Homo-oligomer: A and B are copies of this chain.
Amino acid sequence: MEIRHADRIADALEELVFTGQFNDGDRLDEIRLAKQFGVSRTPIREALQRLVASGIAEQIPRRGVFVRQPGPVELMEMFETMAEIEAVCGRLAARRISDEALRELEEANALCREAVTAHDTDAYYRENERFHHTIYAQSGNSYLAGQALRLHRRLKPFRRLQLRLRGRLAQSMAEHEEIVDALKAGDDQRAASALRDHVGIQGEKFRHLITELRTAAQ
């Protein structure tokens, strides 16, 4: 046996929820999933526990586990929280960042720019992630960085949506450069607000998308 079934299944289920294979409120049927994954209920239950712990699903005692997709309100709250946490990371990083990390940010930005012109969205996502993860790490606080990573990962599927908006990629690039400038200058206030705005705008754009979809559906 390669690795633990429970871990593999938890990752798979997480992916299924994130890619929208399940709707909000869907019950995660243990027996059905057990058959589907070709295992017994035991590893399925362990996987479900993990989903519940990470907030992807909710458990109602003696009723089952139900997927819990964040609604528009909670998503906006999560984006606002992400913006504030990134701002904190930036504020701390402005005073603690290493020259090497600054070079890495510039490199990631350069590759991002290339990806934009080449319309290579995968590369863009990859370098964009590297950019943000570097800032988290350079906060000099690995606990904080861990929390930032967690939320960043949670919001990933939703961030991808708004990045599809026309002109958003170019705007995002400009914001990245402002962030690097502030970090270079060691200006913690400016770094914080640049990052807060950068992520905050993502939330805003996302809200627009939501309301558009909602009105279109009616």
Contact = CB atoms under 8 A, between A and B. Distances in A.
Contacts of A78: 143
A84 interface: yes
A13 to B, nearest CB: 14
Contacts of A87: 88
Interface of A: 3-4, 7, 45-46, 49-50, 53-54, 61-62, 74, 77-78, 80-81, 84-85, 87-88, 91-92, 141-144, 147
A88 to B, nearest CB: 4
A127 B139 CA distance: 32
Q: Is the interface of A mostly helix, strand, loop or mixed?
A: helix
17 contacts: A4-B61, A4-B62, A45-B46, A46-B46, A46-B49, A49-B49, A50-B53, A53-B54, A77-B142, A77-B143, A77-B144, A78-B143, A80-B144, A81-B143, A84-B88, A84-B92, A87-B88
A214 to B, nearest CB: 21
Given A53-B54, A61-B3, A88-B88, A147 B81 contact: yes
Contacts of A91: 84
Contacts of A53: 49-50, 53-54
Nearest to A77: B143
